[in-house]
């Protein structure tokens, strides 16, 4: 194996975090902002790129180009590496950014490659290549919700994704198709075909309230779907803040106003 062999445990229900157990000199890489806690003897280092063998073999210009592409996904040029520099076993933990589930993926069992939403990656064993996947189809690029670019994870180690709400795993057979809201798609394996299809019917398009397009996936392969995309959660929060922005903590209650008077807030 090229990737480091790491062990892990996932804690929590709605707000999960993953604890990575490292042997001496083992390393886990993560996007900035996901770190939660770590034991002593674990050293933190900011690295250019993902630190994989694939990255190291590109040369200086290749590394610059590869890291520069990460800017297109809205990510930083740099990643953070956590290395166990002591003895025995030590732990480092990474937290989910919002309510949902952490998905552990063993790339050796998943044909060595996963394509996922650009903000789904949480952390991975050092040696896993974290790159970008360009769409070759204009329709998918313009209307797919993720633009022309998705993220790809390649290698033979463990990687962890995060998705919102409940996560469903679907196994598609050869030729089997599945239609999904574009925001609910988390990721899929190497041989799954991904395209965007327009919703049929003027009435559905204008009054349906479900958008104009959905993602169509065709097997064979595995697909992961989330019930609560962050974009949908953010839209609901913004909508609610506008609607209830001028109301007090008694919002939604028949006795809300009276309650404010009773506790003194209405005076």
Phi (first) and psi of residue 95, to 5 degrees:
-105, 150
Cα 255 to Cα 262: distance, rounded to the nearest angstrom = 10
pLDDT at 108: 93
Cα 197 to Cα 194: distance, rounded to the nearest angstrom = 10
Query: Cα–Cα–Cα angle for 95, 233, 119, nearest 5°?
Result: 50
pLDDT at 215: 85
Mean pLDDT by 10 residues, the chain (267 residues): 87 93 95 91 86 61 61 69 95 93 95 90 92 63 54 93 94 95 91 80 47 82 92 73 59 47 46
pTM of the model: 0.78
Q: Which CATH number fits domain 7-244: 3.90.550.10, 3.60.160.10, 3.40.50.720, 3.40.930.10?
A: 3.60.160.10
Ramachandran assignment for 162, one of left (phi > 0), alpha (psi -120 to 50 degrees), beta (any other) = beta
- Cα 224 to chain centroid, rounded: 11
pLDDT at 177: 95
Which residues are within 8 A (CB) of 93 and not within 5 positions of it... i.e. 6 or more apart?
A: 17, 18, 19, 20, 35, 36, 37, 38
Cα 199 to Cα 195: distance, rounded to the nearest angstrom = 13
pLDDT at 261: 42
């Amino acid at each position: 194996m090229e990737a480091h062999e790491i062990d892990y445990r996932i804690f929590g229900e709605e707000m999960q975090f993953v604890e990575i157990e490292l042997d001496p000199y083992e390393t886990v890489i993560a996007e900035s902002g996901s770190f939660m806690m770590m034991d002593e003897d674990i050293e933190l280092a900011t690295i250019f790129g993902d630190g994989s063998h694939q990255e190291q073999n590109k040369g200086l210009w290749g590394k610059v180009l590869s890291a520069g592409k990460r800017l297109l996904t809205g990510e930083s040029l740099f990643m953070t590496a956590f290395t166990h520099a002591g003895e025995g076993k030590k732990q480092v933990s990474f937290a989910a950014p919002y309510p949902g589930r952490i998905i552990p993926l063993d790339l050796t069992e998943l044909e060595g490659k996963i394509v996922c939403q650009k903000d789904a990656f949480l952390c991975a064993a050092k040696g896993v290549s974290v790159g970008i996947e360009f769409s070759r189809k204009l329709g998918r690029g313009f209307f797919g919700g993720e633009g022309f670019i998705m993220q790809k994870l390649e290698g033979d180690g463990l990687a962890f994704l995060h998705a919102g709400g409940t996560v469903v795993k679907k196994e598609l057979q050869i030729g089997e198709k599945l239609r999904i809201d574009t925001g609910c798609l988390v990721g899929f394996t190497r041989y799954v075909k991904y395209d965007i299809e327009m919703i049929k019917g003027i009435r559905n398009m204008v009054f349906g309230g479900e958008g104009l397009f959905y993602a169509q996936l065709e097997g064979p392969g595995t697909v992961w779907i989330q019930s609560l995309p962050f974009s949908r959660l953010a839209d609901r929060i913004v909508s609610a803040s506008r609607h209830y922005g001028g109301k007090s903590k008694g919002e939604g209650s028949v006795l809300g106003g009276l309650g404010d008077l009773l506790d003194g807030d209405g005076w």
